[in-house]
Chain A
Amino acid sequence: MNTAAARRTALPFSILVVAAVIFAAPLVVALLTSLKSPSEITRVIALPNELYFQNYAIAYDRMGRSFLNSIAITVPSVILSLLVGAISGYPLAYMRGAGGRAVYFFLLTGMIVPFQIVQIPLFFLIRSIGLYDSIPGMWLVHTAYSVPFCTFFMRNFFASVPRSMYEAALIDGCTPAGYFWRLLLPASGSGLAALAIIQSRAIWNDLLFAITLTTSDKATPVTATIAGFASSLQVEYGPLMAATLISLLPVMVTYLLFQKAFVRGLLGGAGK
């Protein structure tokens, strides 16, 4: 029995191992590069002669404030975008008829808009309300541009919660708003966790809004610093890879924190 089971998992397991090696290989190269001195960088796939931690010092030194800025931008933006996604997903999941579908459709069209095209009008908008080069400005922008996707995601999530729960709550004297705040939202932990992972990654890695709407150390996030390790003519591969690996950490931590909730039920978890 045991050997039969072992045989049954042997092939899938080896496929997984091969896949994991392929997935990890580029990261290993990145890690090795982050430990090479400039004179060794020309030999990309060789091992470093000695571990050159200087790259991490350079990366850390230059990232400085921007790392904190990224955290200050990302955390509230993720929370706000989740909240707005839930606020707009809720009515859309429960409204029946053409009106709701029209609004839903209208909001979803935003998913196909490439952000490059809004850049210049957006710059004016943010400046005119005095939020240029500020962290709250980045919250606003990230929240606004998350509306279509978060709506899409949360609406699908809420739609999988049995309608009977909603009707029962109303009969018990709950208002629709009360149902949302007191029952639905607290029960949606897994959906929100899943969306939080997706949003953290998207907002943390944003470069376009960062370089359009921030200019000083006060608000510039870490992606702009990372992009700064590569200029038009030269690329400092060592510090670039070191900075990349450092900047991975927060997203990874988010992932590890939320993955339990995530796995418990990505979609439709609340009702079951």
Chain B
Amino acid sequence: MRNLKWIGVALGVLASASAARADGPKELWHYYAAGSEKAGIEALIAFANKQNPDNQIVGKVIPGNAVEMRRQLQTAFMGNTPPAAYQSSMAFELKTFVDSGKLHDLSETWAKIKGDEIFPEGVQRVVKVGGKPYGIPYDLSLINNIFYSKAIFEKAGLQPPKDYEGLVAVCDKLRAAGVEPLGNAGGPFWSLYNFYAPLVSTVGTEGYYKIASGELGFDTPEFRKALELYRDTMVKCYAKNWSGKTWTQTADDVVNGNTGMFMMGAWAAAYFKQAGFAPVEKFDVFPAPGTEGKAIFQMDAFAVPEGPADTLETAEKFVISAASAEGQSTFAVPKGSLAPNVTVDPSIYDAVGAKFAKQLADASKANAVLPNLFFLLPTKVGTELGVQLEKFAIDPSDTNESELISTLESLRQEAQAEGAYLKW
């Protein structure tokens, strides 16, 4: 028994020693754990710390994705130890935290950085909840473009298609040439992101926002038509076995000349580049049919939790640096994403990046900037939509179609009854 007591005492001593912990550093939580993403965030943190020598911030990786981030935040908020700032997606991702009073109103900071001037309107509306800004946009990627391998297109004598008929024709020719036409990857996001193009082509920009606000049901003829357009075009074109691949594996297929096209977020360009597959020389992009002149985007923003004054000060200084033209390009260049700040000089981008920037600017003028629907919908509706669409893309049978429609429609009605929908 003596041994036991001894161990108890030793544990106690060590415990009290470690409990006396000074106030930790001000942390910035993010899930950019690898590759170009990591390079981007590290460059940005270094830049901001140089600008704010008295308000240093320390980056901390939360391994995983938005789901793991939420889990960590939940424990941190409950324990009253939130980070100074964190990487957050837009719209509903912010709203959930705002509703429970966890996030700091960034109106003052927003005024300082002239947020209403430097960010496009479509970008602004997804970081404002109830008219107040709660996130500082910094990482924007377009998701309505199709990458294609130049070598494969040249060899088959093909041009980027302009409409759905053209897309299907290109797919047929690629198949005939022994190449898989259109890449896609497993998981609840990629099929959904692809689907936005046929959706917008069918219901238009207005209809897209109506789905986001719950006004347009999933059992409407319009939505059904969009599903069928998706089924008859993209789903038909998908490469064999696409659902068993990760997006990087499909990108590898493009690099290795097995797949001709790949509709993926702009981050694929950074991956291609890293694999020695040069923009414009080896690959190029075109907007998915029906989305020409439009920009559908995925974006991350920095959110600032409520906290003690000195932590808030550090966080605010950090986000001000991150919002500046220089801060935005410090992140965007290594990461390979777009800077949401319109004052950033487009010459910082490579050839493909410049195309994206122009696309965003043009769409912005035409008021055709559309945020990722996933985050405009109440979280449970968006998540289910992603899952159901992947299922439908794997097997576009009538059964799956009607199941998709009925599952989502009942979720929509449930969410509407709860007043969960929001007009962004």
Chain A interface residues (CB < 8 Å from chain B):
38-39, 41-44, 80, 83, 87, 119-120, 123-124, 127, 129-137, 139-140, 177, 181, 211-212, 215-216, 224, 227-236
Q: Which residue of B lies closest to A41 (CB)?
A: B275
Chain B interface residues (CB < 8 Å from chain A):
1, 3-4, 7, 11, 14-16, 18-19, 21, 24, 27, 31-38, 60-66, 68, 71-72, 74-75, 78-79, 246-248, 251-252, 255-256, 267, 271, 274-276
Q: Are B35 and A136 in contact (CB under 8 A)?
A: no
**B1, B18, B38, B252: residue with the most chain A Cβ atoms closer than 10 Å:** B18
Which 7 pairs, one residue from A and one from B, show the smallest C-beta to C-beta distance?
A130-B19, A232-B65, A231-B33, A227-B63, A134-B18, A234-B35, A42-B252
Given the contacts A87-B4, A136-B11, A234 and B79 also touching, CB distance less than 8 Å: no
User: A132–B79 Cα gap in the complex (Å)?
Assistant: 10
- Which residues of chain B come closer than 8 Å to A229, judged between CB atoms? 33-34
Q: Are B11 and A211 in contact (CB under 8 A)?
A: no
Q: Are A131 and B275 in contact (CB under 8 A)?
A: no
Q: Which residue of A lies closest to B1 (CB)?
A: A177
- Which residues of chain B come closer than 8 Å to A130, judged between CB atoms? 15-16, 18-19
Q: Are A39 and B271 in contact (CB under 8 A)?
A: no
Given the contacts A231-B33, A231-B35, A232-B31, A131 and B252 also touching, CB distance less than 8 Å: no
User: A235–B276 Cα gap in the complex (Å)?
Assistant: 17
- Which residues of chain A come closer than 8 Å to B275, judged between CB atoms? 38-39, 41-42
Identify 26 residue pairs between A and B in the complex whose beta-carbon atoms are under 8 Å apart, listed by A's number.
A38-B274, A80-B7, A119-B75, A120-B75, A120-B78, A123-B75, A123-B79, A127-B79, A130-B15, A130-B16, A130-B18, A131-B18, A140-B15, A216-B24, A224-B63, A227-B63, A228-B34, A230-B63, A231-B32, A231-B33, A231-B34, A231-B37, A231-B64, A231-B65, A232-B66, A234-B267
- Which residues of chain B come closer than 8 Å to A131, judged between CB atoms? 15, 18-19
- Which residues of chain B come closer than 8 Å to A211, judged between CB atoms? 62-63, 68, 72
Q: Are A83 and B75 in contact (CB under 8 A)?
A: no
Q: Are B274 and A39 in contact (CB under 8 A)?
A: yes
User: A228–B271 Cα gap in the complex (Å)?
Assistant: 18
- Which residues of chain B come closer than 8 Å to A124, judged between CB atoms? 78-79
- Which residues of chain B come closer than 8 Å to A87, judged between CB atoms? 4
Q: Are A227 and B34 in contact (CB under 8 A)?
A: no
Partner of B21, one of A39, A120, A133, A227: A133
Given the contacts A41-B275, A120-B78, A131-B15, A235 and B256 also touching, CB distance less than 8 Å: no
- Which residues of chain A come closer than 8 Å to B7, judged between CB atoms? 80, 83
